[in-house]
């Protein structure tokens, strides 16, 4: 009976060793998968706010956040023109909609939505070029004024959209 226990112990030990030796795990802390031998620079043009409803600070908040995510998570040098990677576009929509109606027939929840159109050009590999829209939404209680929650909600939406753009352009997720 001892030889059976010994046999199973050795068997499972071999299986575990085999699995550990055949698996490799690779982590990238920033999520970017850039070949820095080929790609060294990025050009990010300012995104204009072309939405029908305009909140003044939104475009500058968005442009700053978009540039910051590339500075913080890549080693790419940002240049004014002719970068190996080029990101351009515009804010195309910023709207609010009634999301749900209360028993009294009034709006109880409002949804705020932001949409950004992005054009991406990879001058080292044009098969990765695209033009695509990215969006984010947030909800708030209709008892609140938009002006009271707008900055916080727009900041959250900008963070979400800039992460989507970053992932689509350099993270290859």
pLDDT tens for each residue of 36-77: 999 999 999 999 999 999 999 999 999 999 999 999 999 999
Task: Transcribe 19-44 into DSSP letters.
Answer: HHHH------SS-----TTT--EEEE
Rounded CA-CA distance 129/131 in Å is: 7
Residues above pLDDT 70, as percent of the chain: 80
The answer to whether residues 51 and 62 touch, using CB atoms and an 8 Å cutoff, is: no
| Predicted pLDDT of residue 24 | 42
Q: C-alpha angle 4/6/11, rounded to 5°?
A: 95
**Does 99 or 134 have the greater pLDDT score?**
134
Query: What is the average per-residue pLDDT within 6-29?
Result: 52
**CA distances from residue 103 to 95, 98, 107, 143, 168 in whole angstroms, order as listed:** 24, 14, 9, 15, 42
Rounded CA-CA distance 123/129 in Å is: 9
pLDDT digits (tens, 9 = 90+) for 73-125: 999 999 999 999 999 999 999 999 998 877 777 788 999 999 999 999 999 99
Quick one: angle between helices 58-73 and 146-166, nearest 10?
40
Q: Which CATH class is domain 30-171?
A: alpha beta
Domain boundaries, the chain: 30-171
| Predicted pLDDT of residue 28 | 42
Average pLDDT value for the chain: 87
């Amino acid at each position: 009976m001892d030889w059976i226990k010994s046999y199973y112990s050795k068997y499972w030990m071999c299986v575990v060793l085999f699995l550990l030796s055949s698996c490799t795990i690779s982590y990238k802390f920033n999520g970017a998968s850039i070949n820095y031998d080929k790609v060294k620079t990025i050009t990010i043009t300012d995104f204009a706010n072309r939405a029908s409803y305009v909140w003044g600070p939104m475009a500058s908040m968005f442009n700053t956040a978009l540039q910051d995510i590339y500075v913080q998570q890549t080693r790419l040098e940002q240049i004014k023109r002719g970068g190996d990677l080029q990101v351009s576009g515009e804010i195309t929509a910023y709207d609010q909609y009634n999301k749900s109606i209360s028993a009294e027939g009034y709006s109880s929840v409002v949804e705020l939505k932001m949409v950004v159109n992005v054009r991406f050009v990879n001058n080292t590999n044009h098969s990765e070029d695209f033009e695509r829209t990215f969006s984010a939404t947030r909800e708030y209680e209709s008892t609140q004024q938009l002006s009271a929650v707008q900055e916080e909600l727009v900041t959250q939406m900008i963070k979400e959209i800039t992460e989507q753009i970053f992932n689509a352009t350099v993270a290859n997720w």
